[in-house]
Amino acid sequence: MGISLENTRRVVGVGLAMVCLVSGAGSAYYLVSTKPKPKSVRVSTKALEVLARPVTGVDGSWPVVGYGTVRPKHQVNIVPQVTGELIYVHEDMLAGRVIQKGELLFEIDPTIYTAQVAQADAEVRHLEGVIARHKQEKETLVVRIEVAKRILEIEKENFLATKELFENEGVGTSQTVAADEERYLKQQDVVLQLQSRVDLIPHLIGETEAQLGASKARLDQAKYNLRQTKIYCPFEARVESSSAFTAQVVTAHFSIATLTDMSAFEISVGIDPRDISWLDEAAKPASLEQLDGEPAEVVIRTTLRGQTFAWRGYITRFERVDEATRTAKMVVEVRQIDMTARPNNEETDEMSLAIGMYCRAELPGRGLRDAMVVPRHAIYDNECVYIFEDDRDGDPKTGVLARRGVPMLRSLESGVLVSHDKYAGQEACELLAGERVIVSPLTDPIEGERVVLRDTRVVSASDAVPMRLGSSKIILAAHPVRRPSGSRSFVSQAVPVTGN
């Protein structure tokens, strides 16, 4: 009985397991057989339409472009050296006015300073008279000493004769001898006193000359103060600010106006420090330190009221590397003769360079040979371009994409410089002259992908010619590109155009 129950339990367990397996298999079959079918999509075999242009090596130079603000080369504060009431102020002493060199700007009441000059001059003349009197007195004393010495000799002879007669022959008395001796000694004292006065006179003259030197210094100071009552324009200047008016009392050593020298302005142009190596040799910092001859010429441009104005400047020095902007500061000087410019439209008024203008500076670049420049948008991942490569099926419009590695040597306005005759970097340029670079945008390009040229026109190498200073424009041309799906997009292509 116990054995039968155990067998029954085994049979039931096996049955339940079989039921579960069968149910799972049926469910899986049902799910697989009833799953939705994916939509079928027809893959278009139409080749991608692209635009391409040949890239050739050209000779030329590209300017190094930087930006900066015009500032004065020389600017001075007008600071009175004396205190007093202003009795004259130049009529053009207003901000923005230009005053010619040498014109009187301010005049301070000179009354006090004129009196100081007269007083110091009188003191000088008095001391000069004292010195002259001392010298005259010395000459007189010298003569008196000679006379006194002669009298002393006579008194000495009388004394010796009287003494000899009294002692040898008994002539005279002792009182007579004493009297002659007394006169001799007194005359000797007179000579000593006169000699002492003569010896003292050089010291008196030296003391008086020292006082005279101090008086002359005070006279010079008084004359200087009197001259400082009139303040003249030190150069042709533009008035930046003025805070003085007629009848106002000004204080010495406090600024009353600010003037800017109009002979030259400066622009501290910020450029990428890496671009210093691309500057012309005459514009590099090392050459500027040993400048011999005319400095390198620079073109300054700015746009006002929709018009572009250009001025000529010269690189004068390398200033510094700015810590905040990480740019190298090259100082460009614009001389007064070059401060007036006229835009391309000759009918408009001239424009003068002004302080505070934000300008673009085109510094001369070094000349390159066989330079290849490609459009910036044609470079992918900052390391390669795609070219149109003929697939040799006889149709010049069809081909495949080919990848070419290029180093980005320098960013230019007309594109990116990828190679030149002197380039010997570690990263080689795989792009060869004459190959056609794809200039239309590519989405996830694949090397070997079939493409077809939409436009087979010949694009001249002038597209890669460097921009010439003062004679270049940029025109954006939009070319429609039809995608395989039928949608249309537009590609902007920059084409340099020479002319005015």
For 243-271, what is the mean pLDDT?
92
Q: Closest Cα to residue 429, out of 384, 463, 386, 388?
A: 384
What DSSP designation does 199 have? H
Q: Closest Cα to residue 124, out of 216, 223, 221?
A: 216
Supply the Cα-derived Rg of the chain in whole angstroms.
Answer: 52
Q: How many residues does the chain have?
A: 500
Helix (H, G, I), strand (E, B) or coil at 255: coil
Q: 177 or 387: which carries more pLDDT confidence?
A: 387
For 436-445, what is the mean pLDDT?
90
Please check the confidence at residue 414 and state whether its pLDDT lies above 70.
yes
Domain boundaries defined on the chain = 50-58+367-498, 64-70+263-363, 77-109+239-260, 112-227
CA 19 – CA 23 distance, rounded (Å): 6
Strand 398-405 with 104-108, pairing: unpaired
The share of the chain scoring above pLDDT 70, in percent, equals 85
One of 3.40.50, 1.10.10, 1.10.287, 1.20.1530 is the CATH number of 112-227, namely 1.10.287
Q: Closest Cα to residue 51, out of 489, 427, 414, 421?
A: 489
Give the CA diameter of the chain. 205
How far is residue 481 from each of residues 267, 440, 453, 488, 491, measured CA to CA in Å?
45, 8, 10, 6, 7
For 293-298, what is the mean pLDDT?
83
Q: Provide the 10 A C-beta neighbour count for residue 309.
A: 22
Helix axes 111-164, 174-227, angle to 10 degrees: 170
Helix (H, G, I), strand (E, B) or coil at 48: strand
Element (H, E) at 349: none
pLDDT digits (tens, 9 = 90+) for 79-116: 999 999 999 999 999 988 999 999 999 999 999 999 99
- Could you tell me the two tokens for 82? 């004396």
Lowest mean pLDDT among 37-51, 284-298, 364-378: 37-51
Lowest mean pLDDT among 165-174, 246-255, 316-325: 165-174
* pLDDT number for residue 490: 36
For 334-358, what is the mean pLDDT?
75
Please check the confidence at residue 220 and state whether its pLDDT lies above 80.
yes
Please check the confidence at residue 286 and state whether its pLDDT lies above 90.
no
Question: Please, what is the average pLDDT of the chain?
Answer: 83
For 410-415, what is the mean pLDDT?
86
- Could you tell me the two tokens for 354? 């002004």
Helix (H, G, I), strand (E, B) or coil at 322: coil
Please check the confidence at residue 482 and state whether its pLDDT lies above 80.
no
Listed in order, strand segments (DSSP E) in 342-465 are 351-352, 358-363, 368-374, 379-380, 384-390, 398-405, 410-412, 415-419, 436-438, 450-453
pLDDT digits (tens, 9 = 90+) for 149-161: 999 899 888 888 8
pLDDT range class, residue 465, cuts 50, 70, 90: very low
What DSSP designation does 219 have? H
- Could you tell me the two tokens for 89? 């102020």
pLDDT range class, residue 20, cuts 50, 70, 90: confident
For 410-424, what is the mean pLDDT?
86
Q: Is the dihedral of CA 361, 265, 309, 294 positive or negative?
A: negative
For 418-430, what is the mean pLDDT?
85
pLDDT range class, residue 31, cuts 50, 70, 90: confident
Please check the confidence at residue 354 and state whether its pLDDT lies above 70.
yes
Burial of residue 290, with CB atoms counted within 10 A of its CB: 0-12 exposed, 13-18 middle, 19 or more buried: exposed
Please check the confidence at residue 179 and state whether its pLDDT lies above 80.
yes
How far is residue 454 from each of residues 260, 351, 393, 434, 440, measured CA to CA in Å?
60, 47, 17, 19, 10
* pLDDT number for residue 349: 61
One of 3.60.21.10, 3.40.190.10, 3.40.50.2000, 2.40.30.170 is the CATH number of 64-70+263-363, namely 2.40.30.170
* pLDDT number for residue 314: 92
Please check the confidence at residue 121 and state whether its pLDDT lies above 50.
yes
Confidence (pTM)? 0.62
Q: 239 or 338: which carries more pLDDT confidence?
A: 239
Lowest mean pLDDT among 272-286, 327-341, 382-396, 400-414: 382-396
Strand order of the β-sheet with 410-412 is 58-60, 368-374, 415-419, 410-412
For 225-241, what is the mean pLDDT?
93
Q: Closest Cα to residue 330, out of 51, 50, 64, 13?
A: 64
pLDDT digits (tens, 9 = 90+) for 189-202: 999 999 999 999 99
* pLDDT number for residue 344: 56
Q: Closest Cα to residue 364, out of 65, 58, 57?
A: 65
Cα-flanking dihedrals φ and ψ of residue 35, to 5°? Answer: -70, 150
